[in-house]
Structure 1
Amino acid sequence: MKILKEFTIILLIIFFSDTLSKTFSLPLPGSIIGMLLLLGLLLLKIVKVETLKTSSTYMLDNLAFFFLPAGVGIISSFDLLKGNTIKIIVIIIISTLVVLLVTGYTVQGLIALKNKRNMGKYNS
């Protein structure tokens, strides 16, 4: 019964965010709005992490399964992609490098911030 409650919460957030995106013609897709909404609910402790732990662990353990529809979509659209192979490869390489750089700088910044906070503790 706990899993049903957890999935209901997640599905309600997905439904609300998708409806919000389509109703107001927002430039962000409903999935992104839903993630931001869930993040806000978790940060404000309206929804506790423990409340969604079982279902989120299950979904993360089976994450590869959720990529199957996207893979099938790519294969079924192969004719559209055939003429743009080089463009797609360039976009993949550039976006991968951007993600690596942003992630690296973010982690370095967070480590520096953590070290700065730890130094403040020891100097007090």
Structure 2
Amino acid sequence: MKQLGVLLACAVAGDAFSILLRGRLPGNVLGLTLLLLLLAYGPVRLGHIEDTADFLLHNMAFFFLPACLGVLEIFAEIKSEVFALLAVCVLTTFCTAAATAFTVHIALRLQRKKDRGGVRP
């Protein structure tokens, strides 16, 4: 329960920040950024949230059910646009994969420089 509380507190804080910023940034992004900062600077350790985070990741399919059911409800209305929607999904999947690969490449390059003493913390 404590682990879930930490994760929910970050989510609620992110939503609160989003409201303060008048919705300029999504609350879920702000909440995850807050969690990252808490993990990076020490108030929250990985062990404080690891079990609950693993459980949520392993059961992530449940979080997509409402969206899938919503699409099924309006499928008759969007049936004519299915191919365009699929094209967008495929294109954005490739863009996401490319951005992820690029980010990993840069992170590995920086890690190698740090290991050789080229970058100071």
Normalised by the length of structure 2, the TM-score is 0.81
Q: Which moved more, 1:109-118 or 1:22-31?
A: 109-118
2:59 corresponding residue in structure 1: 62
**Structure 2: 5+ residue stretches without partners:** none
Q: Does 1:96 align with 2:93?
A: yes
Equivalent position of 1:53 in the other structure: 50
Task: Choose from 27, 36, 57 the match for 1:30.
Answer: 27
Change (3 A) 1:118 1:5: closer
Structure 1's 79 and 23: CA in aligned 2 closer, same or farther, altered over 3 A?
Answer: farther
Q: Distance in 2 between matches of 1:15 and 1:76?
A: 29
| Distance (whole Å) between structure 1 residues aligned to residue 73 and residue 66 of structure 2 | 10
Indicate the RMSD between aligned Cα atoms, in angstroms: 2.0
Q: CA deviation at 1:93?
A: 2.1
Distance 1:57 1:100 in 2: 22
Q: Aligned equivalents of 1:90 and 1:35: distance in 2?
A: 29
Gaps of 5+ in 1: none
Regions of 4+ moved over 4 Å: none
When normalised by structure 1's length, the TM-score is 0.80
- Aligned residue pairs, count: 118
